[in-house]
Amino acid sequence: MRVTFCCTDTKAQPWLEGLRAALPGASVDLWSAGAAPADYAVVWVPPQQFFDEQAGLKAVFNIGAGVDALMKLRLPAGVPVVRLDDAGMSAQMAEYVCHAVIRHFREFDAYEAEVAEGKWSYRKPHLREDFPVGVMGLGVLGERVSRALAQFDFPVMGWSRSAKTVTGVKCFSGDAGLHDFLAATRILVCLLPLTPDTENILRRETLQRLLPGAYLINVARGGHLVDDDLIALIDCGHMAGATLDVFRTEPLPAAHPFWRHPKITITPHTSARTLREESIAQIAGKIRALDRGASIASLAGVVDSKKGY
């Protein structure tokens, strides 16, 4: 069995060592142009040349949950793509989103600013029922985030393209359910996959449907958000602010207005980082299963190329 590793901006050696330890007897090598054909590939934002040369792959494993970069490439016909379905990311994402929601709800950002100025003051507590949280995207990460938020007694709603059921969460689906979902949401969390259908979904038309004083948390992809529309809606008072972890260009350019906007909190795409050991264990387990004759359909995280996730 031959496994090739092609991951942009990733330290290859720890991954190679981990995969070799998890797949004893397999040949695991770093890809370079002209390399011998492999059976399986472990990738992150590979160049088109990689797939042009590796046309005989049995499966491609992406070391992340988002596959939008892969979907832009010409992939070999019939080769399945498998994304990480958790690998420790859902707990991180739940931590990040709950922190952002609670920080806004409890006005800890305002307290921080006042303390920095030497002010000692109190603010009237808000009611949770006045801060319904809507989660866009109810995949593995979205479901975990929704259930975590419900533990803090916030009213939690979820929206997805197809109908889903999550205990303790009021679920909406499809275009028909999007309007009602947005109209009932005050804190909006985006965890959607980035596809042609969801690109620019966080624009003036949708964001202005949110309850007055709305707050946005985007931990999905920068391509979901129309930056200027968000700034305009904050500046006119319809939205209270935003916490953003993902951007159209990363690192975020120094001249971008998000850096300086007083009501926007930014973090450097760190809401849920790939955990190497957990990811290697998951990928190696799936490769072993396929090598024993298991079907692709039996694996978790197989990407539907038509949907793009």
Model pLDDT for residues 281-303, shown as the tens digit of each residue = 999 999 999 999 999 999 999 99
CA separation for the pair 263, 244 (Å, rounded) = 11
**DSSP code, position 166:** B
First to last CA, the chain: 27
Reply yes or no on whether 204 is catalytic: no
Q: Among the options 256, 269, 276, 288, which is catalytic? A: 269
Reply yes or no on whether 269 is catalytic: yes
pLDDT for residue 47: 97
CA separation for the pair 52, 140 (Å, rounded) = 31
Q: Among the options 221, 224, 261, 273, which is catalytic? A: 221
Q: Is 95 exposed, middle or buried (0-12, 13-18, 19+ CB in 10 A)?
A: middle
**131-175 pLDDT, tens per residue?**
999 999 999 999 999 999 999 999 999 999 999 999 999 999 999
pLDDT for residue 191: 98
pTM: 0.94
Please give the backbone phi and psi of residue 233, each rounded to the nearest 5 degrees, phi first. -70, -30
pLDDT for residue 86: 87
Q: What is the mean pLDDT of residues 78-106?
A: 96
Total residues belonging to the chain: 309
Q: What is the mean pLDDT of residues 251-271?
A: 98
pLDDT band at residue 85 using 50, 70 and 90 as cut-offs: confident
In this predicted structure, the answer to whether residue 87 has a pLDDT above a threshold of 90 is no
pLDDT band at residue 57 using 50, 70 and 90 as cut-offs: very high
CA separation for the pair 123, 217 (Å, rounded) = 23
CA separation for the pair 60, 287 (Å, rounded) = 10
